[in-house]
Amino acid sequence: MTAPSGARDSAGPSLEVHLDSWLREFGPRQREEVAADTVEHLLDTLESRYPRLKFKLRDETGRLRRYVRVFVDGEDVSGTTGVGTPLAGARTIDILHSIAGG
């Protein structure tokens, strides 16, 4: 799927991005193709395409929110390299928002 404006991203590999059902309310309803070289760049692109995602994925400092998990080709990078994770060679990104409760 392309950006709503029809513009094509200029940097990085083309990645298939999938948001969980809660996040799809604010972003793409289906899988989306995004070109990005880092997780940060990918999130910037998604937030520019879908402004309602802003502050759902990252806090005001740019860090991933506590309950957001980003999987690069099935590997959770949220607690390790986070938004700085390079995406060279990656194919799929899954972004999940967990719900805490008690």
d(CA 67, CA 63): 11
Identify any residues that bridge with 94 across adjacent strands, giving them in sequence order.
18, 71
| CA dihedral for 92, 86, 78, 7, sign (positive or negative) | negative
* E strand segments, 1-102: 14-19, 32-35, 68-72, 75-76, 92-97
Label residue 98 by pLDDT band (50, 70, 90): confident
pLDDT per residue over 25-55, tens digit each?
999 999 999 999 999 999 999 999 999 999 9
The residue extents of the domains of the chain are 14-97
Of 1.10.730.10, 3.10.20.30, 2.40.30.30, 3.90.550.10, which CATH number belongs to 14-97? 3.10.20.30
- Could you say which DSSP state residue 63 is in? P
